[in-house]
Amino acid sequence: MKRMKCLLGLFLCGAFFVTPGPGFCREVFCPQVPFSILYAGGVEHTFFRIIHPQWDAVEFQTTSTGRVQLLVSLLDGNQIHYLDQEPLVQIRRKFDTSLKARDYRYAPIEYRSKIEKDGTVQVIASAKTDRGKIDVSFFSSQPLKEVNQVVDPFNHAMEVIAILYMERTAIGNEKATVLLDGKTLHIRKSDVSFVQGANFGIIFRTDKRDERLIEFRPGQERWVGARWVYDVGGNRVTYSIEKEKDSEGFYEVKRLANMIVQKAWIRPGEKGRHIKRVSTFSLVHDNKEFIIEFGVPLFFPAMLLENQILRSELGFKAQISNSDWAVRGRVKMASWKENNRTHSEMEFLPSSPEFLAKRPIYYEVIESKDRYEVIAKEVK
């Protein structure tokens, strides 16, 4: 959900733009980053991997705001997200920029959990879904133990790089059950768990955007205080700069959409823009972050000669919640000019932990005078 190109010119002329004309975005600092990230910091996560003709797993998640979500993971890797509040379903659908929209549905959900003094766990939960009534019970024989590591998301949600960081966990015992309309579903052995401190960081492969600038207000001092409003499919997304640049010349650009705050550290220049770091806060606003940092800043050229191709390869690392740098990998980039538009290909190649290596993601970014497009594609 992001872009930018050059700066220059605007303050030299002393101009004030509210509704920009054609070519406006080529002359100013444009604030997008060409990939989307999400951090869903959860409180509790109860996971059952089951034997079923279409389903692979059912999962109940809670947040510090008291919201509960049920995930039904299908054998083909897709997921159905059942939310316990109907307005949230509409909001998620409205702001979903996926090539293949994620499946959000409403279901009344009941959830109770208890952690005993000895650290053992009990969970009783149910949901009345359009696929039947799901009832689960979870019991652990051993107390919660510290884990603090990224875990394998299996083949669930393969359209994203899914970084699942678990803080404390307990394994379910033989009393654990899953019922569908009162009938017992078989549970895969040892694939029943409870997590306290479940953190989900996502780098989206499915992101698609066509952003058009509808309002710009310059800052009072250089770029500090500058504010942009973009239209993205009828939704308003706001970018702003609230702090002076750092010692390396990077501005902290804040993005606000659907009450989710993301930040990017961007350095503009006549030849293009550099991006050294991107972060987003937990959906429950507990001040935890999901951070992606690049060994050498990403570079997106403002201008290229015809038939010129600019290539680069650099490392990235990701950090979530209170973890160390939990994920590492490489980014490959190639940029060229075609029909007066700048194209940039960007490929994320995670390598550590090893189970994330099967989840590369690939984007094409197309930037012209007054448009910024992100297109997600299958990796070549």
Predicted confidence (pLDDT) per residue in 258-269, tens digit = 777 889 999 988
Backbone angles phi, psi at 169, to 5 degrees: -145, 160
Strand 79-83 versus strand 103-106 pairing type: parallel
Residues 6 or more apart in contact with residue 259 via CB below 8 angstroms = none
Per DSSP, the three-state class of 231 is strand
pLDDT digits (tens, 9 = 90+) for 99-129: 556 789 999 999 999 999 999 999 999 999 9
**Residue from 93, 74, 4 nearest 272 by CA:** 4
**Residue from 88, 65, 44, 43 nearest 284 by CA:** 65
Where do the domains of the chain lie? 10-36+207-377, 39-203
Exposed, middle or buried by CB within 10 Å (0-12, 13-18, 19+), for 20?
middle
Interatomic CA distance for residues 330 and 362, integer angstroms: 12
**Lowest mean pLDDT segment, chosen from 96-105, 128-137, 194-203:** 96-105
pLDDT digits (tens, 9 = 90+) for 352-373: 999 999 999 888 888 876 778 8
What does the radius of gyration of the chain's CA atoms come to, in whole angstroms?
23
- Residue 181's pLDDT band, with cuts at 50, 70 and 90, is very high
Q: What's this model's pTM, rounded to 2 decimal places?
A: 0.77
**Residue from 311, 317, 308, 315 nearest 299 by CA:** 311
In this structure, are residues 294 and 276 in contact, taking their beta carbons and an 8 Å threshold?
Answer: yes
**Residue from 370, 355, 368 nearest 156 by CA:** 355
Q: What is the mean pLDDT of residues 337-361?
A: 91
The percentage of residues in the chain with a pLDDT greater than 90, rounded to a whole number, is 46
**Residue from 23, 20, 30, 1 nearest 223 by CA:** 30
Instruction: Tell which wins on pLDDT, 117 or 4.
Output: 117
